[in-house]
Structure 1
Amino acid sequence: MKGKFVNSLIVIIPLANIFLGGWSVDAILSWFGKDIPFYADAIIGLFVAEFSFPIAIIGTILKAFGIF
């Protein structure tokens, strides 16, 4: 049972990093009026997701309240 859990984490964590990182890069670039294909967002997100995801979350919340 433990091996299946670890194997699923090996798949889930990189996929989450790709999709969440891609979303965050796309969100940040949209603030500047730029748009690139999602696969490029995902590739950039692989390297910068740890920084871009919190920034995108905060920016999205600020934008929802009309501050940003």
Structure 2
Amino acid sequence: MSSKIGCLAMTMTALTNIILGAISVDYILSWFGKDIPLLFDFIIGLIVGEFSVPIAFVGWLLRLFGVF
């Protein structure tokens, strides 16, 4: 039973990383006026999601307060 829960947890973690990574990559690229296909957003988000999510969040906050 615990292996099923562990597998589900790992799957959900990977999916969250891919989805949030893709959203953040797309958001960061929009700053430069660029757009790439969603599949490439997913692939890049899987690789650099740990870095792009915090960068996108800080960029969003800076835009929210009118700094960026």
The runs of 4+ residues in structure 1 deviating greater than 4 Å are none
TM-score, structure 2 as length reference:
0.90
Structure 2 matches for 1:1-68, cutoff 5 A? 1-68=1-68
Aligned residues: 68
Structure 2's unaligned 5+ residue stretches are none
Percent identical pairs in the alignment equals 54
Larger deviation: 1-10 or 15-24?
A: 1-10
Q: Deviations over 1:4-63 (max 9, x none)?
A: 321211210110111000011001100000011111111001110111110000001111
TM-score, structure 1 as length reference:
0.90
RMSD: 1.1
The separation in 2 between residues aligned to 1:39 and 1:61, in whole angstroms, is 27
Structure 1's unaligned 5+ residue stretches are none
